[in-house]
Amino acid sequence: MSEFSESYHLRSERLEDAIELLRRAKRKGYVYQPVNGWITFTVEAGQFEPDMRVVAAANQPLLHYVCAEDHGWNFTLFDQANVVSAYRCDWDNEINIDDSKYERDVLLPFVPAGQLAVFDDFESRLQPQDFDELFEAEPAKLFAQAIGLEHYDWTSYRGMDNAFHDSTSDNSDMTEVA
């Protein structure tokens, strides 16, 4: 089974900030506890593109992250509803990259102490020459690790919804917002 992850990451230490954001946007979702200055959350009915109601409701920097293992990956970092850095890499028969909005200087303040080497490694892999290089490097995961995301791998509304309602799962680190 292929990974399909879609998540948002709000730059904040307060869980309430993400809950309030979802309520302002009038969206259902699941919110993880803050880690490394990021609050990860998912939104119902994601379409692998940023939900502009969520983006418009954000008062702090907001990252939208997508990883569709067999198709591509991308991120968009917003500040006050403006795209301040973005990257997209899609593949089917060939690798297609759009780094026209990628801004290293905007991302650097989000790199935790001690992760600059991981960030540099990620950046060295932004232009894969072939599929072997792309799949070996796993730049989507390198990016998430470089900026300190903890909840990104196999993270989606559907997955969190299933986990939240599974009585055998420990979901003490997430909150449902209806």
Contacts 24+ apart (CB under 8 A), 42-49: 42/6, 42/7, 42/8, 42/155, 42/156, 42/157, 42/159, 42/160, 43/8, 43/157, 44/157, 45/157, 46/6, 46/156, 46/157, 48/6
Span 137-153, pLDDT tens digits = 788 899 999 999 999 88
Q: Is the pLDDT reported for residue 2 higher than 60?
A: no
How much is the mean pLDDT over the chain? 89
Q: Is the pLDDT reported for residue 167 higher than 90?
A: no
Question: Is the Cβ–Cβ distance between 29 and 41 less than 8 Å?
Answer: yes
* Residue 30, φ and ψ in degrees, nearest 5: -130, 140
pLDDT confidence of residue 98: 96
> 31 falls in which pLDDT band (50, 70, 90)?
very high
Span 90-141, pLDDT tens digits = 988 889 999 999 999 999 999 999 999 999 999 998 988 888 877 777 888 9
Give the global pTM.
0.91
How much of the chain exceeds pLDDT 90, in percent?
Answer: 64
Structure tokens at 63: 């990252």
3-state secondary structure of 70: coil
The secondary structure element, H or E, covering residue 170 is: none
Question: Is the Cβ–Cβ distance between 91 and 59 less than 8 Å?
Answer: no
pLDDT confidence of residue 169: 66
- Which of the pair, 145 or 159, is modelled with greater confidence? 145
The lowest-confidence range among 8-17, 72-81, 123-132, 140-149 is: 123-132
Contacts of 96 (CB under 8 A, 6+ apart): 72, 88, 89, 90
DSSP output for 101-131: T--HHHHGGGSPTT-HHHHHHHHTTSS-SSH
Average of per-residue pLDDT across 67-78: 90
- What is the C-alpha to C-alpha distance for residues 114 and 121, in angstroms, rounded to an integer? 13
pLDDT confidence of residue 144: 95
pLDDT confidence of residue 132: 80
Average of per-residue pLDDT across 52-65: 97
